[in-house]
Amino acid sequence: MMAEYTYTVEKPCPVCGEKTHVTKLKARLITLSTDEDFCVHYQGVNPYRYRVWLCEHCGFAADEKQFADEPLSARDKAKIQELLEGRTINLPYHEERTVEEAIRAYKLGIYFAERLGWPLQKQAGYCMGMAWVYRDTEERDKENEMLRSAAELYEKSVMTEHYPINGMSDSMALYIAGAAYYRLEDYEKATQMLSQIMSDQEVRKNDTKLFERTQNLWIELREKKAEAEKADN
Q: Could you tell me if residue 166 is left (phi over 0), alpha (psi between -120 and 50 degrees) or otherwise beta?
A: left
Q: Is residue 149 part of a domain?
A: yes
48 & 148 share domain:
no
Question: Per-residue pLDDT for 4 more than 60?
Answer: yes
Q: How many domains are there within the chain?
A: 2
96 & 168 share domain:
no
Q: Is residue 163 part of a domain?
A: yes
113 & 190 share domain:
no
What does pLDDT average to over the chain?
93
Read off the pLDDT of residues 178-210 as tens digits, 9 standing for 90 and up.
999 999 999 999 999 999 999 999 999 999 999
Q: Is residue 202 part of a domain?
A: yes
* Contact status, residue 197 vs residue 206, Cβ threshold 8 Å: no
Q: Is residue 126 part of a domain?
A: no
* Mean pLDDT for the stretch of residues 126-146: 96
Q: Is residue 127 part of a domain?
A: no
Domain, as residue range, for 202 = 140-233
Read off the pLDDT of residues 97-132 as tens digits, 9 standing for 90 and up.
999 999 999 999 999 999 999 999 999 999 999 999
22 & 106 share domain:
yes
* Contact status, residue 120 vs residue 160, Cβ threshold 8 Å: yes
